[in-house]
């Protein structure tokens, strides 16, 4: 899949703008504060119906305007086309249509325009808090599994109910049983798919890391569940019951996929705390390459890829190696202040 | 604009309190009322009050009714060995429209939700249990497939298990007459996983 054209109205600093893109590498070049990242953000919006920078759509609205609109024209491998229009108004929120049909449930849209995005904040996947790593898992797997996304949404709602129950808990263990039983249904679906995903990407992660670093370090990744036994739904329920005392004491749901984590290991050592800044960056780049491969094989379509300001500290050779590992068919959007870093044949959009 | 007509505004405000009705729709409805003949509006007002005055809940199943017990509970042709448990009275109307189900109902009056303060005591659970002596052989749990409806079904299944009555949950799956191509993907995935 690739994005052929995008139009923006009242989006961030753009009043009215239209850009044509090419398959392959598209570089947004310009000084800081010109709007390169805004354009990357607009592309992200059309794939995920939300920003990668803010959780409030209002921030993306041009100052003193009432609404913004984004229109993207996508081409798929089989020749079909998709026009996605996202209209945000202050009072009514977001309205989305695809090929002139309104999208009622946004979760149905997720994954229909697969996208892999890497911004500076994503470097925290390997050295930041566990929530960054869960977000990484959720964004990828939600695009490839509707059951995953549905389970995730339901899981979040059950956790809210359970927390409320724990807040005012007075020995209603039958009620806690009820919510834990429902929780274990979604927990099981999610853990199963997270583990499958890791199993699938680890060989590629290791391969890409070696290619990028030119070294021999082995990279692996381990899923660290807050529950010890998660083979079946019944196991999860029993674990939750076993740990109930702690949850009741803490008055909050403390076990389950919302507390799980990943550990990246370099030659057996935990990357967090052990790896250098350079190693972290290489690890994340390798992870994103593995993510692209995973998406390709799951969706059967090249995802769109966005790299926002992540190459600034890398040398030319490393960047060359990175793009050499991407397939020619993959559409890439890169924002940078330094065009010298890129080969001459890229498609340039100047700011 | 400061142009205001008090009685019209009052009507708009009250209409806008109704579920699913926003300010604009309320205004359109109010102007429709203005244009309509007086008798017709009097009929509407009468109907609104009659619903409030005459409709009560059945003391057995808690369905809405004008006579207590309700027509379904007293109907000798209904199968008294099965009770279908639903969240709201509106669910009964939907199921009755099918003309397929011949058993009785029990309306819980909602679903479990700690966030909204809905505990089993606030639902008609005790009343359901008190109906289980004698003839009843099966309880169908027909709560909504929302997380609250599912929790309510799980809870009831646990409570009813101790009593020894047969408990079933309505099946989820593909809509009949629907093309697989257009089916909701989560439903389709579940239908395949739970195939029989």
| Three-state SS letters, B80-100 | CCEEEEECCHHHHHHHHHCCC
Q: Quick check: is B21 in a domain? A: yes
How many CA atoms lie within 13 Å of A61's alpha carbon, on the beta-carbon side? Answer: 17
- Beta-strand pair A347-350/A332-336: unpaired
When pLDDT is cut at 50, 70 and 90, the band that residue B2 belongs to is low
Tell which residue, B118, B90, B124, B119, has the closest CA to residue B106.
B124
Q: Count the Cβ atoms, other than its own, within 10 Å of residue A46.
A: 23
Find tokens 């599912």 and name the residue: B150
Interface test with B, best of A161, A189, A193 (most B CBs within 10 A): A161
pLDDT tens track for B56-110: 999 999 999 999 999 999 999 999 999 999 999 999 999 999 999 999 999 999 9
Same domain, residue pair B103 and B149? yes
Residue B92 belongs to what domain range? 64-169
Instruction: State both tokens at A118.
Output: 């890497």
Q: By the 8 A CB rule, do A12 and A60 touch?
A: yes
Here the CATH number for the domain that contains residue B45 is: 1.10.8.420
Output the CA–CA distances (angstroms, integers) from residue B84 to A83, B75, B79, B136, in the order listed.
Answer: 46, 16, 11, 11
Q: Quick check: is B184 in a domain? A: no
Round to whole Å and give the CA distance between A122 and A283. Answer: 11
C-alpha torsion sign, points A37, A38, A41, A46: negative
Same domain, residue pair B81 and B19? no
B49 inside 8 A of chain A by CB: no
- Collect all residues of chain B within an 8 Å Cβ-Cβ radius of residue A144: none
For residues A110, A19, A295, A274, the Cα torsion angle rounded to the nearest 10 degrees is: -100
Residues 6+ apart with CB under 8 A from A171: none
Same domain, residue pair B42 and B12? yes
At residue A147, the pLDDT reads 94
Chain B CA closest to residue A165: B114
To the nearest whole Å, the CA of B143 is away from the closest chain A CA by: 14
Tell which residue, B155, B169, B166, B171, has the closest CA to residue B82.
B166
Q: Quick check: is B190 in a domain? A: no
At residue A193, the pLDDT reads 96
* pLDDT by residue, tens only, chain A of 351 residues: 999 999 999 999 999 999 999 998 999 988 888 889 999 999 999 999 999 988 899 999 999 999 999 999 999 999 999 999 999 999 889 999 999 999 999 999 999 999 999 998 898 999 899 999 999 999 999 999 999 999 999 999 999 999 999 999 988 899 999 999 999 999 999 999 999 999 999 999 999 999 998 888 899 999 999 999 999 999 999 999 999 999 999 999 999 999 999 999 999 999 988 898 889 999 999 999 999 999 999 999 999 999 998 887 777 788 888 989 998 899 999 998 887 777 666 787 887
Same domain, residue pair B36 and B107? no
Q: What is the pTM of this model?
A: 0.88
Q: Is A222 helix (H, G, I), strand (E, B) or coil?
A: strand
Same domain, residue pair B98 and B156? yes
Q: Quick check: is B196 in a domain? A: no
Find tokens 């005790």 and name the residue: B126
At residue B193, the pLDDT reads 79
pLDDT of B184 over the 90 cut: no
Round to whole Å and give the CA distance between A105 and B184. Answer: 11
Q: Quick check: is B183 in a domain? A: no
Same domain, residue pair B22 and B69? no
At residue A180, the pLDDT reads 97
Backbone angles phi, psi at A127, to 5 degrees: -125, 5
A182 and B151 within 8 Å at the Cβ level: the answer is yes
- Collect all residues of chain A within an 8 Å Cβ-Cβ radius of residue B148: 161
- Collect all residues of chain A within an 8 Å Cβ-Cβ radius of residue B189: 146-147
Q: By the 8 A CB rule, do A299 and A114 touch?
A: yes
Longest CA–CA span in chain A (Å) reads 69
Same domain, residue pair B111 and B27? no
Residues 6+ apart with CB under 8 A from A221: A198, A201, A202, A205, A262, A263, A264, A265
Same domain, residue pair B133 and B50? no
To the nearest whole Å, the CA of B181 is away from the closest chain A CA by: 14
Q: Quick check: is B195 in a domain? A: no
Same domain, residue pair B152 and B101? yes
Same domain, residue pair B23 and B99? no
Same domain, residue pair B43 and B133? no
Output the CA–CA distances (angstroms, integers) from residue A220 to A29, A202, A231, A294, in the order listed.
Answer: 35, 6, 21, 16
Q: Quick check: is B28 in a domain? A: yes
How many structural domains compose chain B? 2
* Mean of per-residue pLDDT scores for chain B: 92
B155 and A175 within 8 Å at the Cβ level: the answer is yes
A182 and B185 within 8 Å at the Cβ level: the answer is no
ipTM of this predicted structure: 0.84
Here the CATH number for the domain that contains residue B132 is: 3.40.1360.10
Same domain, residue pair B36 and B86? no
Q: Quick check: is B153 in a domain? A: yes
């Amino acid at each position: 899949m690739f994005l052929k054209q995008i139009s923006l109205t009242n989006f961030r600093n753009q009043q009215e703008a239209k850009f044509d893109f090419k398959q392959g590498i598209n570089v947004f070049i310009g000084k800081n504060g010109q709007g390169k990242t805004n354009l990357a953000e607009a592309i992200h919006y059309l794939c995920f119906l939300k920003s990668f920078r803010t959780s409030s759509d209002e921030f993306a609205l041009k100052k003193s305007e009432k609404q913004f609109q984004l229109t993207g024209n996508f081409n798929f491998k089989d020749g079909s086309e998709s026009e996605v229009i996202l209209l945000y108004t202050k009072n009514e929120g977001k309205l989305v249509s695809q090929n002139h049909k309104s999208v009622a449930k946004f979760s149905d849209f997720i994954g229909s325009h697969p996208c892999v995005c890497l911004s500076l904040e994503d470097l925290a996947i390997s050295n930041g808090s566990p929530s960054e790593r869960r977000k990484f898992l959720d964004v990828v797997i939600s695009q490839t599994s509707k059951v995953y996304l549905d389970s995730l949404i339901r899981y979040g709602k059950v956790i809210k109910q359970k927390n409320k129950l724990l807040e005012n808990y007075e020995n209603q263990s039958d009620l806690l049983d009820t919510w834990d039983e429902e929780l274990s249904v979604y927990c099981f679906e999610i853990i199963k798919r997270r583990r499958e995903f890791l199993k699938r990407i680890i060989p590629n992660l290791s391969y890409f890391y070696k290619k990028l670093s030119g070294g021999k370090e082995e990279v692996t990744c381990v899923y660290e569940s807050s529950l010890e036994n998660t083979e079946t739904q019944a196991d999860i329920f029993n674990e939750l019951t076993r740990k109930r005392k702690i949850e009741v004491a803490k008055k909050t749901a403390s076990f389950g996929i919302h507390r799980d984590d990943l550990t990246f290991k370099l030659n057996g050592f935990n990357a967090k705390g052990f790896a250098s800044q350079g190693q972290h960056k290489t690890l994340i780049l390798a992870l994103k390459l593995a993510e692209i491969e995973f998406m390709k094989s799951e969706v059967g379509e090249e995802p769109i890829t966005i790299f926002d300001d992540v190459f600034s500290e890398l040398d030319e050779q490393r960047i060359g190696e990175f793009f050499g590992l991407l397939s020619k068919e993959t559409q890439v959007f890169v924002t940078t202040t330094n065009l010298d870093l890129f080969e001459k044949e890229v498609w340039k959009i100047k700011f | 604009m400061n142009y205001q007509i008090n009685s019209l505004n009052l009507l708009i405000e009250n209409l806008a309190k109704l579920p699913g009705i926003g300010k604009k729709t309320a205004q359109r409805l109010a102007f429709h009322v203005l244009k309509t003949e007086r008798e017709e509006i009097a009929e509407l007002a009468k109907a609104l009050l009659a619903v409030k005055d005459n409709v009560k809940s059945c003391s057995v199943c808690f369905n809405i009714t004008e006579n207590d017990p309700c027509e379904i509970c007293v109907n000798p042709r209904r199968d008294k060995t099965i009770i279908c448990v639903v969240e709201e009275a509106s669910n009964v109307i939907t199921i009755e429209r099918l003309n397929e189900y011949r058993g009785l109902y029990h309306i819980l009056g909602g679903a479990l939700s700690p966030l909204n303060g809905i505990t089993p005591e606030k639902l008609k659970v005790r009343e359901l249990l008190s109906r289980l002596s004698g003839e009843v052989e099966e309880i169908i749990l027909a709560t909504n497939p929302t997380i609250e409806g599912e929790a309510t079904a799980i809870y009831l299944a646990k409570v009813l298990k101790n009593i020894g009555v047969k408990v079933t949950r309505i099946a989820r799956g593909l809509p009949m007459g629907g093309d697989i191509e257009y089916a909701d993907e989560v439903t389709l995935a579940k239908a395949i996983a739970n195939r029989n």
